[in-house]
Chain A
Amino acid sequence: AQSVAQPEDQVNVAEGNPLTVKCTYSVSGNPYLFWYVQYPNRGLQFLLKYITGDNLVKGSYGFEAEFNKSQTSFHLKKPSALVSDSALYFCAVRDQAGTALIFGKGTTLSVSS
């Protein structure tokens, strides 16, 4: 069965520092991987996706993610964190049927000024 794991419930970084939010996956077949962000009292917003091609994918708001097949990881990164990046981040994988998404538990990112 398809699944993703986000090993950290919370990540704390100082503004201006690089940030990484971790995600590992387990899939049958080729992985379709995604990151979404949820700001307080809002619905989720799509950030970026990996389906095929370059292992480093760029997304919205300066975020990028690195696909690593050997480590079955898809970590979200940003070179310089902003306080406004503070939010709940979800990693997701396409389900076996190929249409719906299976979301991880989420990681709360807190960026301090």
Chain B
Amino acid sequence: DAGVIQSPRHEVTEMGQEVTLRCKPISGHDYLFWYRQTMMRGLELLIYFNNNVPIDDSGMPEDRFSAKMPNASFSTLKIQPSEPRDSAVYFCASSWEGHPYEQYFGPGTRLTVT
């Protein structure tokens, strides 16, 4: 298995632009998580899905952030409009019902908003 796939690996954009981050979870996994990692705030859970349904989005910072999971093999995290304070590494992780806490993380997307 290729593991969790994220794209792009690096994204540099200007303030005000729309940014879309993509994630392909491990086949057969029921849960998908989006995290954000910064030096100041550490690792924060933004939102997670179970069987493509959003379960908890309380970590989404504000309305500029949105996440979708149209099917079991694809999820997006969108920021519109982006701001410099959104600069961070965004991780996607997945797990399956049998071991929901053993999460498999993707390599991350390093976002820089100038």
Which A residues are closer than 8 A to B by beta carbons? 32, 34, 36, 41-46, 49, 90, 94, 97, 99-106
Q: In the complex, what's the smallest C-beta–C-beta distance from A51 to chain B, in angstroms?
A: 8
**Contact among B4, B33, B42, B100 with A105 in the assembled complex (CB-CB below 8 Å):** B42
Are A100 and B102 in contact, CB atoms less than 8 angstroms apart?
no
Which B residues are closer than 8 A to A by beta carbons? 4, 31, 33, 42-43, 45, 48, 50, 55-56, 91, 93, 100-108
Complex Cα distance, B50 from A45, in Å, reads 21
Q: Enumerate chain A residues within 8 angstroms of B42, measured Cβ to Cβ.
A: 103-106
**Contact among A34, A41, A43, A105 with B105 in the assembled complex (CB-CB below 8 Å):** A43
Are B56 and A43 in contact, CB atoms less than 8 angstroms apart?
no
**Contact among A32, A100, A105, A106 with B45 in the assembled complex (CB-CB below 8 Å):** A100
In the complex, number of A-B residue pairs with CB atoms less than 8 Å apart: 52
Are A49 and B48 in contact, CB atoms less than 8 angstroms apart?
no
Complex Cα distance, B103 from A34, in Å, reads 11
What is the interface of chain B mostly: helix, strand, loop, or mixed? strand
Q: Given A99-B50, A106-B42 in contact, is the A46-B102 Cβ separation under 8 Å? A: yes
Are B48 and A43 in contact, CB atoms less than 8 angstroms apart?
no
Are A99 and B31 in contact, CB atoms less than 8 angstroms apart?
yes
Q: Enumerate chain A residues within 8 angstroms of B50, measured Cβ to Cβ.
A: 99
Q: Enumerate chain A residues within 8 angstroms of B43, measured Cβ to Cβ.
A: 44, 90, 103, 106
